[in-house]
Amino acid sequence: MSSLAAQAWQEQGAAKIILVRHGRTHYNAEGRLQGQVDIELDEAGLEQAAVGMAALAQQYRADRFVTSDLTRARQTAAAYTAATGIEPIVDERLRERGFGSWEGKSGTELAEEFPEEFARWRAGMDSPIIGAEPRDDAAARIAEALRDHAAQTVDGGVLVVVSHGAAISAGITNMLGLQASAWRGLTGMNNVHWARLERSRPEAMPDWRLTAFNVH
């Protein structure tokens, strides 16, 4: 890469995006599907957030810091603020995928009430969840937010994002140029674990590459 090309590459907003899943909630502990139900962190989740986000702050100091508007994400983001003094920007586009009438139900309940549909969903196939946000739509929503905030990050900087399990995996899939409804290679991350996207070199496709996933 020439010096001019290298300079241009550094002048395109964020060079890294760090995507963090929120801490544990009692829905997580009970194996319930949260979706866009607004649940607070439980005691274990608050401890996870305090420890995990302090550790993240030692590795990555955000040039731009963004969080989902849902309470569990904002509480997790608050732990990063406590460690760094950096206040988050709240963006509702980063909220979890909506799961319609399945929200609030446990895996056991879903298996009993919707045995065929739940089996298809567990196998990674599309399932007619009543009122659910299509996976491709959720992926596009998350990716749009990531690209917008990456473009507004200082050139060559770090964008830190707090979001949700299904939202992060779908959004990353879109950022990698893959169709979220067809490619299910990424599962949901553990609580207060993170993924890293790094901007590709000029003329490389896709624009972003995944260099870490489900780490802490």
> Is 96 in the active site?
yes
Question: Which one from 11, 22, 117, 144 is the annotated catalytic residue?
Answer: 22
CB under 8 Å to 7, separation ≥6 — which residues? none
Under DSSP, is residue 79 helix (H, G, I), strand (E, B) or coil?
helix
Give the C-alpha separation, 62 to 100, whole Å. Answer: 34
Candidates 30, 26, 14, 55; CA nearest to 148 is 14
DSSP conformational letter for 116: H
98 is in an annotated binding site: no
190 is in an annotated binding site: no
Give the C-alpha separation, 164 to 67, whole Å. Answer: 10
24 is in an annotated binding site: yes
Instruction: Describe the strand order of the beta sheet including 158-163 as a list of residue ranges.
Output: 89-90, 64-67, 158-163, 16-21, 194-199, 208-215
149 is in an annotated binding site: no
21 is in an annotated binding site: yes
22 is in an annotated binding site: yes
26 is in an annotated binding site: yes
Question: Which one from 11, 43, 96, 198 is the annotated catalytic residue?
Answer: 96
> Is 149 in the active site?
no
216 is in an annotated binding site: no
25 is in an annotated binding site: yes
DSSP conformational letter for 72: H
Give the catalytic positions in this structure.
Answer: 22, 96
Annotated binding-site residue numbers for substrate: 21-28, 72
Annotated binding-site residue numbers: 21-28, 72
